Amino acid sequence: MSMVCYTITSGPLKCPYSMTTTPPSNKMTQTVQEFFTETEWDMIYNFIGNALDNDDYECEDVYAIRAKIHNLFLPQ
């Protein structure tokens, strides 16, 4: 499955590359989604994005983590 990047609450996000991932099961996805509120997920997403400004983190790693969060909220 080719990953398309979306923000959790708004329009499309420009993703520098496509990422192929295996989507998690519906039950697993729901369980992980319920760990945090939508506001908390938005905060996490933004905090991860702030890592792009930190030279200690590789850009590709930051985008990979964001892609995993996007995958949690894609329609099944």
> In this predicted model, what pLDDT tens digit does every residue of 24-49 receive, in sequence order?
678 888 888 899 999 999 899 899 98
How far apart, in whole angstroms, are the C-alpha atoms of residue 12 and residue 37?
21
From residue 25, alpha-carbon distances to 14, 22, 53, 56, 58 in Å are: 26, 9, 33, 32, 28
Domain with 8, as residue range(s), is 1-76
Helices (H) and strands (E) in the chain, counts: 3, 0
Contact 11, 27 (CB under 8 A): no
Number of domains in the chain: 1
- Check whether 3 has a pLDDT greater than 50: no
Q: What's the pLDDT score for residue 10?
A: 44
> Is 73 in a helix, a strand, or coil?
helix
Confidence of residue 60 (pLDDT cuts 50, 70, 90): very high
- Check whether 73 has a pLDDT greater than 90: no
